[in-house]
Amino acid sequence: MAPHFDAVIVGAGFGGMGAAIALNELGLHNLAILEREDDLGGTWHVNRYPGLAVDIASVTYSYSFEPNPYWSRLFAPGAELKKYAEHVADKYDLRKYMRFDTVVTGAVWNSEEQLWTVSIADQEPVTARFLLTATGFLSQPHTPDIPGIDTFTGKIIHTTDWDDSYNLDGRTVAIIGTGATAVQLIPNLAKRAKELTVFQRTPIWVTPKIDTPIPRAVQRMFSVAPFTQRAARFVNTAILELIMVSAVLHFRQARLLNAVAASVAKLHLRTQVKDPDLRRKLTPDYDFGCKRPTFSNEYFRTFNKPHVRLETSTIERVESDGIVTVDGTKTTIDTLVLATGFNIWDVNFPAIDIVGREGRNLGKWWRENRFQAFEGISVPQFPNYLTLASPYSYSGLSYFTTIEVQMKHLRRVIREVLRRGATTFEVTEEANSNYLDRMTAKLGDSVFYQGNCQTARSYYFNQHGEAAILRPTSTVTALREASRFPLDSYNYA
Ligand code: NAP
């Protein structure tokens, strides 16, 4: 039976588009990109909350092979990322592969026919020789199960489902959560709301954001002399790499650097907030890097405003018109914003039901054993399958590094399949367990295991207590390994 497609890619964000570009380069053009949303762009299509912007400088947060000289700021607003995604889809002619409003419910390996059967809600299943899931890390919104939340009669908005038609002017608003999303959103909510209460469970490290518009002359220079933008990218990436590799991954050897980063954040807080009690509440008691640090020049100072209040008492319940904390205080509100993030470990790894050889269910296997994927991309007993949102895959600070490492890896392994005239590839148990052991050993030096992360409630840690998202190598190493991993790490048949 011939499959419908050479490859099915789940997800039309930057990861999925990168995978399609790589497959095209190998001569595979019979592709389907299945996307549950109604348009492309992934995170940058779904998230539209006020204040949304990248927090990795745009010269780095983009494909290296498709630079955009026209970013308006050092840290581009979210809408520019969405436009950039559209540009990439058009330039690389990817829209013809995309099917929107298409919810993939699962995929099963058919050993007899040697193909994947991909189930789609309310549609006929499709089959493919190769399956790639590019469902992102932060794509399953977390809505907290707070008692009474369903009895609230005002407006509830999750940050991943922003209601552009809802007027915030003059509202009495509460926001739950103080993660990276809230850090961007809170200053903007404060500009519109009559009163704003921020419910913080765990404070977050916030450092200054050195952001500025990029003058037209510089944009023109980037356009006519692309090497200048490449140089800017190189410098920026090197700085990010230094922060990531030294302060986070080599915490054991570079505690001092980590302490310097924390001091910068504390100084930033001190210059923006005069009230010592407020400062104390906004200061984390865990090490810098346990949770993803954030960048903002406006966040802390927003709490000085008379109509903004920080509430650190634990939420007990939600009532029809407000939130009650355990100390019995009720905050009456008409609008509740949930900046409560995402569920990664229960429902996103993997985002859909994937069943491989001999009935191995990927999610069940990961949860019952350890989360693992060779080079953060392939798993034993899952032939012809590449999982792009994987344990130990996230390299560096910019997601585009991960995407490009994975593009290199997938080009190499699928090229080898085609060269041999083989039908399937499957990573060996040995290669997979060697990679897992190596990553586990390397992470031993990181802030996650050497630092004080107990109180961070960081989504980097899974239900087994393992920090299994980041790949603890430099991006240079990750890129090199993607080009040089032994081809016999895979069995070909
Ligand atoms: P997040 O970091 O997971 O933060 C969720 C927040 O909600 C936390 O403060 C959490 O408190 C709180 N929360 C969750 N459930 C709660 C409950 N039941 N009661 C009280 N508080 C609760 O999610 P996020 O802010 O959406 O950010 C996720 C990631 O997205 C970031 O780390 C970053 O990687 C990415 N992001 C990037 C950008 C950017 O690049 N521009 C912007 C936004 C987000 P606890 O900490 O106590 O759990």
Map out the domains of the chain with their CATH numbers. 5-139+344-492 (3.50.50.60), 149-209+265-286+296-338 (3.50.50.60)
Encoded amino acid at 400, one letter: F
How confident is the model at residue 458, as a pLDDT? Answer: 96
Structure confidence by residue, pLDDT tens digits, 438-464: 999 999 999 999 999 999 999 999 999
Q: Is the sign of the CA dihedral 484, 437, 455, 260 positive or negative?
A: negative
Per-residue pLDDT 10s for the chain (493 aa) are: 799 999 999 999 999 999 999 999 999 999 999 999 999 999 999 999 999 999 899 999 999 999 999 999 999 999 999 999 999 999 999 999 999 999 999 999 999 999 999 999 999 999 999 999 999 999 999 999 999 999 999 999 999 999 999 999 999 999 999 999 999 999 999 999 999 999 999 999 999 999 999 999 999 999 999 999 999 999 999 988 888 888 889 999 889 988 999 999 999 999 999 999 999 999 999 999 999 889 999 999 999 999 999 999 999 999 999 999 999 999 999 999 999 999 999 999 999 999 999 999 999 999 999 999 999 999 999 999 999 999 999 997 889 999 999 999 999 999 999 999 999 999 999 999 999 999 999 999 999 999 999 999 999 999 999 999 999 999 999 999 999 999 999 999 9
SS3 108: strand
How confident is the model at residue 10, as a pLDDT? Answer: 98
Q: What is the DSSP letter of 314?
A: P
Closest Cα to residue 48, out of 12, 79, 83?
79
Q: Based on the number of CB atoms within 10 Å of its own CB, is 145 exposed (0-12), middle (13-18) or buried (19 or more)?
A: exposed
Determine the atom of ligand 1 nearest the C-alpha atom of 459: 3
Determine which helix (DSSP H) or strand (DSSP E) holds 380, and give its type and residue range: none
**Helices assigned H by DSSP within 360-424:** 362-368, 399-420
**Mutational pocket test of ligand 1: of 176, 209, 402, the residue with most ligand atoms within 8 Å of the beta carbon:** 176
Residue nearest to atom 23 of ligand 1 (CA): 341
Place of tokens 């930033």: 268
How confident is the model at residue 218, as a pLDDT? Answer: 97
- Is the omega angle on the peptide bond into residue 472 within 30 degrees of 0, that is, cis? no
DSSP 249-268: ITTTT-HHHHHHHHHHHHHH
Pocket of ligand 1 (CB under 6 A): 53-55, 138, 144, 146, 176-182, 184, 201-202, 292, 315, 339-342, 457, 459
How confident is the model at residue 297, as a pLDDT? Answer: 96
SS3 90: helix
Task: Report d(CA 236, CA 283) in Å as an integer.
Answer: 28
Q: Is the CB of residue 288 less than 8 Å from the CB of residue 268?
A: no
Task: Report d(CA 149, CA 151) in Å as an integer.
Answer: 5
Task: Report d(CA 407, CA 321) in Å as an integer.
Answer: 50
Q: Is the CB of residue 297 less than 8 Å from the CB of residue 186?
A: no
Contacts of residue 437, defined as CB under 8 A and 6 or more positions apart, other chains included, come to: none
Closest Cα to residue 148, out of 336, 311, 346, 347?
336
Task: Report d(CA 438, CA 357) in Å as an integer.
Answer: 26
- Residue 295 C-alpha to ligand 1 middle, in angstroms? 14
Task: Report d(CA 136, CA 351) in Å as an integer.
Answer: 9
Task: Report d(CA 219, CA 157) in Å as an integer.
Answer: 36
Q: What is the 3-state secondary structure (H, E, C) of 112-179?
A: CCCEEEEEECCCCCEEEEEEEECCCCCCCECCCCCCCHHHCCCEEEEHHHCCCCCCCCCCEEEEECCC
Residue nearest to atom 31 of ligand 1 (CA): 180
Residue nearest to atom 33 of ligand 1 (CA): 180
How confident is the model at residue 184, as a pLDDT? Answer: 98
**Mutational pocket test of ligand 1: of 176, 181, 454, the residue with most ligand atoms within 8 Å of the beta carbon:** 181
Determine the atom of ligand 1 nearest the C-alpha atom of 182: 25
